[in-house]
Amino acid sequence: MELINTDVAIIGAGGAGLRAAIALAEADPTLRIALISKVYPMRSHTCAAEGGAAGVIKSDDSLDMHFDDTVGGGDWLSDQDCVEYFVKEAPKELTQLEHWGCPWNRETDGSVAVRPFGGMQKQRTWFAADKSGFHILHTLFQTTLQYPSITRFDEYYALDLLVDEGRCQGLTAMEMRSGMIKQFNAKAVIIAGGGAGRIFPFTTNGAIKTGDGMAMAYRAGVPLKDMEFVQYHPTGLPNTGSLLTEACRGEGGVLVNKDGRRYLQDYGMGPETPLGKPQLKTMELGPRDRVSQAYWHELQKGNTVSTQWGECVMLDMRHLGEKCINERLPLVRELAIAYLGVDIVKDPVPIRPVVHYMMGGISTDMQAATPLPGLFAAGECACVSLNGANRLGSNSLVELLVFGKSAALSAIKHIQALPAANVANAAALAARAGESQARIRALFSRTDGTESMSGLRKEMMDTMEKNVGIYRNEAGLQEAVDKIAALRLRYQNVVVNDKSNVFNTDLFQVLELGCMLDCAEALTVGALARKESRGAHQRLDFVQRDDASYMRHSMVYYQGLNAPRLDYLDVVITKSPPGVRDYSGDHK
């Protein structure tokens, strides 16, 4: 097994991973940085983000307003010290991106343009048409190229963390091109591997979003925090799940039911406002959890539109005009035409909610440090407790930047604090790496297995779709917990049919399935135990928010093939006591 020595290993080369690599290289040019990704960086899922990134820039806005919107939008499950730090750092990071060349849209006076986004009382979302993630990722990727200390390992699949003497000291990864396993010894590891939305069948997430980084940390003893909170985006294409950005509604698009009625006023998000003049905090600019839940209620009432792709509501943007759409929503128009044959300039487009983002993930503090010394995490794979029970749109792209940088600075502090005479126990780390290699060899050598990857994956997805959706109940969640536990046992008999070494996609899909099952386990266990409704976690049998019992983060600990251990951690409250989420538009 080839040994690669580095100072910091970063798993994932999307927005958070690239930002961490830049911060490391800037802070200390002598550091050796290994950037490990299972896809080329520009294929990372950050590229798919459309709408924009939130940061206070205009004179009528304030950090306190951004704080209030984020905490209220998260249904008071956000750690407020983390939110305070985030809103302060966000404008700095977005300005830094501009200096690196990110082509933000501009006002006529040359200043940065901002657009409205759901749950935000002021316009503060910076954007680059509706391809913001692409431009952010491109800017970060190009910036990394100037630093010779960053070595990329593209198309490497990360396998296991190497833990010795109570701290993380590296990882193993497989080079996809050769099938060879490499041992990376590192003084610090940063996980920036994205979310796990592919445990659901209908999602905006690309095929790479399988929770690999989450599962690696989970298996190494780090708890997964708040995994029960899964965000549905209200406007996905009904056949592919492709995202139609929240900017559609930020620019003035409206949601109507089968009768052509703007129904959101029936769900605490009124009053209705004139077309083309969206009123902040109301109607279509309610937060994502509330807008998705309203669709569910319209479905129960029989108010949805029957299409060849199932039940939908309609997103109408015709009144915006072709000029506005081509300037600010060109990708949305392309997607609707390509996948549905609908030109949004001429016709409403059918949409329905789709799994989009996981608020939960690897437990970290606001410095992006996990409970395992030497291990840090940032981005969607991490739960720094910024987003609480529901993420506000356009906060996540800035989260990548703010906490990607924090992870890097924390990793440097960790390295500096190591004893000067610190020498990794080479034999111990080699033994750990050998265990990782043996796990892969066991998969290859199994000939008497009875389970297929595709069969298990379908059962997992069907279970999650049926029981862990927008609305949940005790019986369904218990069924999901039992089913996922059974699937994890059956996974021990899964067969890898392709025995080759070169780009063995069969093997990688089997490994990804194991990670997804681990993440699904943590999610369902946390959801069953949380007997309240809060944000994106809605219980039909416990319809009220219960601050007395559940103003706490769920913490799920891996226990092998046994049921995981569940614990809780108190939410940090600094200046905003729990209140009522009011998006009626009647208050100031």
Task: Assign 560 a pLDDT band (cuts: 50, 70, 90).
Answer: very high
Confidence at residue 466, expressed as pLDDT on a 0 to 100 scale: 96
Could you give the CA distance from residue 13 to residue 194 in angstroms, rounded to a whole number? 10
One domain, residues 31 and 130? yes
One domain, residues 266 and 411? no
* Averaged pLDDT for residues 6-23: 98
One domain, residues 443 and 518? yes
The answer to the question of residue 530 being in a domain is yes
Q: What is the CATH number of the domain that holds 64?
A: 3.50.50.60
The answer to the question of residue 582 being in a domain is no
382-383 and 361-363 beta bridge pairing = parallel
One domain, residues 249 and 384? no
CA 39 vs CA 14, 155, 437, 524: distances in Å: 9, 5, 21, 29
One domain, residues 467 and 349? no
441 part of the active site? no
Query: Which of 390, 424, 458 is the C-terminal boundary of a domain?
Result: 424
Could you give the CA distance from residue 213 to residue 91 in angstroms, rounded to a whole number? 28
Of 367, 364, 11, the residue nearest 208 (C-alpha): 11
One domain, residues 532 and 413? no
Could you give the CA distance from residue 385 to residue 375 in angstroms, rounded to a whole number? 17
* pLDDT tens digit sequence for 22-66: 999 999 999 999 999 999 999 999 999 888 999 999 999 999 999
CA angle, 565 as apex, 563 and 570 as ends, to 5°? 150
Q: What are 307's strand-pairing partners? A: 310
Of 266, 227, 210, the residue nearest 45 (C-alpha): 210
The answer to the question of residue 77 being in a domain is yes
* pLDDT tens digit sequence for 383-423: 999 999 999 989 999 999 999 999 999 999 999 999 876 66
The answer to the question of residue 45 being in a domain is yes
Q: What is the CATH number of the domain that holds 316?
A: 3.90.700.10
One domain, residues 371 and 410? yes
Question: Looking at this protein, which amino acid is placed at residue 30?
Answer: T
Query: Which of 354, 382, 414 is the C-terminal boundary of a domain?
Result: 354
* pLDDT tens digit sequence for 177-211: 999 999 999 999 999 999 999 999 999 999 999 99
One domain, residues 411 and 439? no
The answer to the question of residue 585 being in a domain is no
- The structure tokens listed for 161 are 């963390």
| Catalytic residue chosen out of the listed positions 135, 152, 249, 537 | 249
Confidence at residue 445, expressed as pLDDT on a 0 to 100 scale: 87
Residue ranges making up the domain that contains 540: 427-570
Tell whether the model's pLDDT for residue 584 goes beyond 80.
no
The count of structural domains within the chain is 3
Query: Which of 395, 424, 453 is the C-terminal boundary of a domain?
Result: 424
Confidence at residue 274, expressed as pLDDT on a 0 to 100 scale: 64
Could you give the CA distance from residue 18 to residue 150 in angstroms, rounded to a whole number? 10
State in Å, rounded, how far the first CA of the chain is from the last one.
Answer: 63
537 part of the active site? no
One domain, residues 455 and 477? yes
Could you give the CA distance from residue 337 to residue 352 in angstroms, rounded to a whole number? 17
| Catalytic residue chosen out of the listed positions 66, 115, 138, 233 | 233
One domain, residues 160 and 300? no
Record the pTM: 0.95
Confidence at residue 567, expressed as pLDDT on a 0 to 100 scale: 97
Mean per-residue pLDDT of the chain: 94
* Averaged pLDDT for residues 300-316: 95
The answer to the question of residue 67 being in a domain is yes
Could you give the CA distance from residue 282 to residue 286 in angstroms, rounded to a whole number? 5
One domain, residues 176 and 271? no
One domain, residues 134 and 101? yes
